[in-house]
Structure formats: C-alpha cells, structure tokens
Amino acid sequence: MSLAAWVRRARTPAPAPVAREVAFLEPADLFDLEIKDDPEASPVLCCTGDPVGAAAFNALWLKRIAASGRYAAAVSVRGQGGTPAAAGGVEARAHDVVQAAVAVPRQTVLIGHREGASWAALAAGRYPAAGLVLVSPRQFPKQPPKPVGEPPVLLVVSESEAQSKEAQAVTDAYGVAPLTFAGSPDDVFKGAAAEGLLDAVLSWLAPKQ
Amino acid sequence: MQEYSSQAAYDRGEAVCVIGAGASGLIAVKNLRENGFEVDCYERDTVLGGLWNPQNQHSPLYPNTHLVTSRSQTEIPDFPMPDDWPDYPSATQMLTYLTSYAKHFGLSEHIWYGSEIAAVEPVEGSRFEVIVKPAAGNAARRLRYAAVIIATGHHWAPNLPSYPGQDQYRGTVLHSSQLKDASRLRGKHVLVVGGGNSGVDLACEAAVNAAGCVHSVRRDTWHLPKYLGGEPADYALNRLGARPKFLRRFLTDRLLNGPARLAARMGIEVPGRGPGGEEPVRNGRYLEHVGDGSIRRRGEVARFDGYDVAFADGTEMRPDLVVFATGYRPQITCVAAPLLGVEGTGGTPQLMARMFSPKSQTLAVAGLVEPGVGVLPIVHWQTHAIARWLQVRKSDPERAKNFRDQVQSETTGQADGPGAASPRHRLAVDAEEYLASLARIIDTLEQEPAK
C-alpha cells in the first residue's frame, strides 16, 4: 500500500463493523498423532464468493490444510453464511478479509475463490499477506493494488477458463502464469478434482513459506 | 569506553540494530524484516510495548489513559485494529494491539530484553559499534551493525519545573507518571499543573475523584473535543483534507465554531490558533467540568510557600497534592549529541527530514515527531522509508543520489514547527505537510528515477 492510498483510506468512512463468522481448525484439533503442527508454516485464510461462506471450506479444505501442519481458517464476509448483511461493496468485503487476517495468530496466506479472489487481492493491498492464492477469480478488479510486502502470488484456474479474460487480467497484473486444474470452477470444495487442486496449492506453499 | 575495549567487537554483518521495543521499535523491526534485513532489537526493560505497558518500570501512563486520536487515524496502516473496538481505545487495548502485532509478525524472537545500549560509536565504512549492557551482570557486549535505528521515544525523562520555594514545600508533589492509581486523588484538594493532554486528562480525573481540583495553566491552548459533527474529531478534520481548498477553510470554521465558542465562554482565549497551528488538547469532558465548577482554572504558579501555593494572579491555595503534568523532555543518551545534530546541552535533535542523522547515512531516529495526529502511521512510513533507503543506498547509486537531494530539500524547507514558541512544541510538525514530504522521499526510493 502506498502512502497516498493510505491517506485516501484514512479519509473515507470505515465500513460498518459486523460480527464475522470465522471457521478455523488447528492441526491439534484433528486428534491425529501423525500430524505435527509446523510453527514455521504460515496459517491459511480462505474466502469464497459462494453465499455459504466459510462453511464451504468445512467439507475438505480446512481439514486438508490443517493436516499439512498449518492453522487453517475461513471467513464469511458480510451477507455470507453466518455473517449478517451490512452496507458496503467490494471494499467492505475486502475490509472483512483484512479484519479476519489480523485476527489470525500469525502472518497468513490469503486464498480467495471466485469473487473471494478479488476481495483477497484487495486485502493483500492493505495487509502484508504471506502469500496470495487466487482460485478461478471472477469480477477481478481491473487494476488490483500492488500487494504489500511483495508476497508470492499463485493463480489457479480450471482448464475451461485458462483463456478467460479474468485469468488474463491476473496474469497481466502480477506476472504469474496460471496453474490449471480439471473440473468445474464452482465445484472446488469436494471431490477428486478438489483434492488435486488443494494438493497443488499446498505443495506450492510448502517450499516458500 | 575504556572498560570495554579489551573485548573485540562481534560483527553482525549487514544486520540492523533497533533500539527500543515500543510501538516505534516494533514497527521498525517489522518493516526492516519485510525488506529483507536481519534485525537485532534491544529493549532496556523486560517487556515490549514501551510507554503503553504499565509493567515497564518507566511507564508514563497515568490513571485512565486513553488514546487522544481515534482508532482509524492511529492504527498501523497495514495492521488495522479490530473494528469492534471503541473509537478511542484505552492504554490496555493499545498494549493488546501492539502485543498481537509483535506476535503476528513474529517480532519477539528478534528482541533482546533487559539490554540497555551504553553507547553507539561510528566506525569505518559508515558502520556502527553498539555496546550492549545487560540489566543483570556486568558483561557488556560489543557488536557491529550496518545501521542503527533509534526508536526510544520521547516520553521517558520527566520535565519538572522549578518554582521559587518548591524545595521547602511541605505537601506532596508528583509527576503525572508517578500517579499510577486514581485512588490517590480521592478526598484530596488537588492542584494539577500543566495544560497539555496529560494535564487536562488528570484534571478531569481529579474532578470526579478528588475533593476539589485547581488546574494551573501557563497559557491558553486550543481545546478540541473528541467528537465533532458526530464523528471522531481527527477523522472529521482529516476528511476535510479531501475537499477543494476554497471550501476547506469554510467547512473547518463551521466545524470548529461550536467548540471555539464554548472554550471562549470558559475563559480560554486562543488568538490566531486553529487547525494547522499547534497541536490541540483533545478532551471532550474538560470544558464541561470547568463549566460545572469541578475544575477551577488558574494562571501560572508563582511560588510555593510552606503548605501554600501562590498563583501569578495573587490568589493562594493549600493543596494536599500537587501533580505536575508538565510532560517530558526528548532525551537520547545512547548516541553522542553531534551525531543527531544537537547543539549545546539539552538541545533538541536537528534531524534531516526529522528522521535521518545529519552526520551519518546509516543512523536514523523513528518517531521523534509530534504530528498532532496518530503517530503510529507516521512511524510506519518513516521506517518504511528508512528500510528502503538502507536497501537502495548501496545497490542503486542513482536513486540514492535523488534521495539525498530530496531529503536535503525537505530539511531546508522544514520550519521550526508551528508552535516553536513553547518548548513542548519543538517536535511538532504539521501532519499533512510532513506526510506529503515523506511521500516525496519514498517516491525517490521506489519510483523509476526521473531522467
């Protein structure tokens, strides 16, 4: 975030606070002796454009991420899942993601799916994320802010959207080549395709942070 | 430093030394780490949080200390405070915030507690030799760093006035930092000396707890309530900065008209002050306590006399307790005064762009400003600039030159501060101007150099 962007933000009204629903799972919560909490690994915070919100990640994602030794969390932004609706557009939802990110015990990786990818990208412009993962972005901002603290960025899209304009926009903005996965972009929460996708994301995270 | 010289210095290579683990120190460590530096942070106390930690044995907190600037204007730009916190968080919440900041970015592992810096000496190649004196034992260590950032703050050395007859005064005299518990005020006739934020806060504390409160102020200051037009006052005023220039004056006057008339009714005349002038005193309750008579305002103290205190206007009183809320003197003892541009003894540091040493390229001070707005964001951008500068200094001579020219021009442009008349305001800067100057400095480090 540049100084000018901060000056502008300090002059705009903050979005109305809401009680956000946050689902989280620590490696110790899995009651599995095989799984060791890795204190060096960054936590992971997920958000999705799906109206279910954080609950969408309960089926597979949180368990899988926690099993890799990371603190796994997911947030429902305003209007999703258990979080009450409140005024505010994309900026307010990005605010919700930032607020959830600073409540995570350590510097966190942001994973955004669908509209969640644009909120995560905006949040990464205000909070120094440990990494930014954009899964099948939709309604992505034309000029996303430069991520604070220069985190590594990963773009994952389904094979069908590899040539879409969203994927192209993200590629241009961050200079990263997309990683593709088989299956529908809306169906990433369970099933074999979802497991493959998640493993790819986790193995991308592993060596970096 | 004869006593240490037998020991060879341990070279820490390109690592940077940060002195102090208060708010400024923590922000400096985080921003340096983010820019790839190795950092050693030394804290003389055994806790982090600096002045916000009541366990710090030098803590300047007084009962019921709250922020005087609102949450949105005070939070660190890239680590916002929880949005369900009040507009004006308390000192306890501030400590919680700083602790979670340190934990979130893993800063604690870089902090050495109980380590006072005895001396910082420049050595060849614009590097520094730092002598660290542990609180326990006497084995001082000597380390060599590529750069030193001083983040010790300026709320540690109490500024105590001396009035005639004060030595023979028989009552109790305390500095605001010594008054840890409001129960000490209960049932007493209290005299509060000093018209700054702490003086006004303590007068309000005494107004509800003590049997009587007299508030002695040397001169009238600009009073600002904590809310203006239904919004936190600093936010409301900052928001006007986004308006066109010709409207700004008019809107500001309209916003400040009510509080100014109230202050005038309470006999506080502030000629020619206003926004852009000296830092206001921010307290919404004070003028109401003056209005209901629980705070009686007097002029300057003339002399102490036995149990009595006489004021300049000829009146006298017999207080049970005198509280000096007379602030602090900026004092940096670990570095030789000329390195910071201090002239004579007890002078104020004259820094380049209010953060860089005029003598050395690799010595900087974070947070030695009073911008009249939240200081944490200012420190964030200062340390951001310092970290970028340390990166650019060696790797990119062209930007380094642009940067030096820019800092030079910002320094010659910097006035003595709007309220240089009072020693209290020697560190004061106009926030808007200073942020613009910081932005220009950061631009020379980050943007493509202009051909």
- pLDDT (0 to 100) of residue B7: 64
Domain contains A89: yes
Domain contains A6: no
Domain contains A1: no
What pLDDT band is residue A49 in, cutting at 50, 70 and 90?
A: very high
With CB atoms and an 8 Å threshold, state whether B106 touches A1: no
Residue A105: which of B79, B103, B381 has the nearest Cβ? B103
Domain contains A43: yes
Count structural domains, chain A: 1
B77 CB within 8 Å of a chain A CB:
yes
B315 token code pair: 């009146």
Q: Which CATH number fits domain B2-157+328-446: 3.30.43.10, 3.50.50.60, 3.30.1280.10, 3.90.950.20?
A: 3.50.50.60
Rounded (5°) CA angle A87-A88-A93 = 120
3-state SS of chain A: helix, strand, coil percent to 5?
35, 15, 45
Task: Spell out the domain ranges in chain B.
Answer: 2-157+328-446, 160-324
Is it true that B2-157+328-446 and B160-324 share their CATH fold?
Answer: yes
Mean pLDDT per 10-residue section of chain B, whose length is 451 residues: 59 93 96 95 93 90 92 94 95 96 95 93 90 83 94 90 92 91 92 93 95 92 90 91 86 88 88 62 93 94 93 93 91 83 72 88 90 90 95 87 88 56 68 89 82 52
Mean pLDDT of the region A34-58: 90
What pLDDT band is residue A161 in, cutting at 50, 70 and 90?
A: confident
Residues of chain B with Cβ-Cβ distance to A99 below 8 Å are: 80, 82-83
Distances (CA, A) of A194 to A74, A87, A188, B126, B191: 16, 33, 5, 55, 71
3-state SS of chain B: helix, strand, coil percent to 5?
35, 20, 45
B243 CB within 8 Å of a chain A CB:
no
Taking residue A165's Cβ as centre, other Cβ atoms within 10 Å add up to: 9
> Residue B250: which H helix or E strand, with range?
helix B245-265
Residue A99: which of B82, B239, B242 has the nearest Cβ? B82
Range of the domain at A163: 20-208
Q: Which stretches does DSSP call E strand in chain A?
A: 21-25, 44-48, 72-76, 109-113, 131-135, 153-158, 179-181
Q: Between A88 and B100, name the one with better pLDDT.
A: B100
- pLDDT (0 to 100) of residue B63: 87
Domain contains A5: no
Residues of chain A with Cβ-Cβ distance to B439 below 8 Å are: 3-4, 7
Domain contains A12: no
Using one digit for the tens of pLDDT, what is the confidence trace for B182-194?
899 999 999 999 9
Provide DSSP, B184-222: GGTTSEEEEE--SHHHHHHHHHHHHHSSEEEEE-SS---
User: Could you say which DSSP state residue A130 is in?
Assistant: S
Whether A171 has a pLDDT exceeding 70, the answer reads: yes
- pLDDT (0 to 100) of residue B423: 59
What is the spatial distance between Cα B376 and Cα B383, in angstroms, rounded to a whole number?
A: 10
Lowest mean pLDDT across A65-69, A87-91, B416-420, B430-434: B416-420
With CB atoms and an 8 Å threshold, state whether A102 touches B106: no
- pLDDT (0 to 100) of residue B420: 47
B98 token code pair: 């700083």
Query: Hey, of B32, B73, B79, B378, which one would you mutate to test binding to chain A, going by the most A CBs within 10 A of its CB?
Result: B79
With CB atoms and an 8 Å threshold, state whether B84 touches A103: no
A14 CB within 8 Å of a chain B CB:
yes
> In CATH, which superfamily holds the domain spanning B160-324?
FAD/NAD(P)-binding domain (3.50.50.60)
CATH number at residue A43: 3.40.50.1820
- pLDDT (0 to 100) of residue B243: 86
Burial label for A146, CB within 10 Å (0-12, 13-18, 19+), is middle
